C-alpha cells in the first residue's frame, strides 16, 4: 500500500469526467487499498478517485462507529449510481479532504438508494440508507460528477473560497 497525494480544490482534475471501471483485478484492489490508506491518514470518512488524480468512478467510505473508530467496515464502492433520493432536505455540516481547513453547511437528502459494484464486479445496492452514510454517499458521488461540496454554497462564498484556494495551490507548487 502507498499513500497518494490528495488533489486540492481548485484543481481542474476534480472537474474532469470520470470513467466507469470495467476491469476488476488486483490493480483495482491495490488502488482502493491506497485510497483507504490515504483517507485514514487524513482522517477522512470518504474519498473519491479524482481526489487522488484517478479519474475513475471509485469511492471508498468508512463511517466511524459509536466510539469514533474506523477500520472495521471499509467500503469500496465502484461505479455507484444514485437511483433514489428520499426524505427531507437536511442541513449537513461538511468538509472535504480536497478543501483542507474548511467546513460549511450544505443541503442533502436524508436518505438515498445507491446501486454499485463491489471489488469482484458484483452488482450490489445500498437500499434506502440514512444518516451520515447517506450524506457521505451523496458527497462522494458528487465528486464522480466533477462536483465539490463548496459548489453548493452561495456565489459570494464560492468566489471567496476560489480565490483563497487558488492562492493556496500556487503556494503548494
Ligand atoms: Co470531498
CA of 145 to the centre of ligand 1 (A): 12
16 pLDDT above the threshold of 90: yes
Residue 6 included in any domain: no
Burial class (CB in 10 A: 0-12, 13-18, 19+), 63: middle
CA distance 132 to 153: 20
- Annotation marks residue 140 as catalytic: yes
CB 51 within 8 A of CB 20: no
Residue 101 included in any domain: yes
Residue 3 included in any domain: no
Residue 134 included in any domain: yes
Residue 50 included in any domain: yes
> What pLDDT was estimated at residue 72?
84
Mean pLDDT of 45-60: 98
Cα dihedral 35, 142, 117, 72 sign: positive
130 pLDDT above the threshold of 80: yes
**Boundaries of domain holding 24:** 12-172
Residue 49 included in any domain: yes
Number of domains in the chain: 1
Tens-place pLDDT, residues 62-101: 999 989 899 888 999 999 999 999 999 999 999 999 999 9
> What pLDDT was estimated at residue 84?
98
CA of 87 to the centre of ligand 1 (A): 22
Catalytic residue among 86, 88, 122, 140: 140
Question: For position 104, which CATH number holds?
Answer: 3.90.45.10
110 pLDDT above the threshold of 80: yes
CA of 99 to the centre of ligand 1 (A): 8
Amino acid at each position: 500500500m502507498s499513500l497518494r497525494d490528495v488533489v486540492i480544490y481548485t484543481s481542474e482534475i476534480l472537474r474532469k469526467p470520470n470513467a466507469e471501471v470495467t476491469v476488476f483485478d488486483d490493480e483495482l484492489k491495490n488502488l482502493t487499498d491506497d485510497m483507504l490508506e490515504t483517507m485514514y491518514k487524513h482522517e477522512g470518512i470518504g474519498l473519491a478517485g479524482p481526489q487522488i488524480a484517478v479519474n475513475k468512478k471509485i469511492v471508498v467510505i468508512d463511517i466511524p462507529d459509536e466510539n469514533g473508530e474506523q477500520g472495521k467496515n471499509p467500503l469500496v464502492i465502484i461505479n455507484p449510481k444514485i437511483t433514489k433520493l428520499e426524505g427531507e432536505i437536511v442541513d449537513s455540516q461538511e468538509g472535504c479532504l480536497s478543501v483542507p481547513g474548511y467546513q460549511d453547511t450544505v443541503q442533502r437528502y436524508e436518505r438515498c438508494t445507491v446501486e454499485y459494484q463491489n471489488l469482484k464486479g458484483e452488482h450490489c445496492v445500498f437500499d434506502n440508507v440514512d444518516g451520515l452514510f447517506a450524506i457521505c454517499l451523496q458527497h462522494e458521488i458528487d465528486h464522480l460528477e466533477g462536483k465539490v461540496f463548496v459548489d453548493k454554497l452561495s456565489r459570494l462564498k464560492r468566489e471567496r473560497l476560489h480565490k483563497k484556494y487558488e492562492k493556496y495551490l500556487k503556494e503548494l507548487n
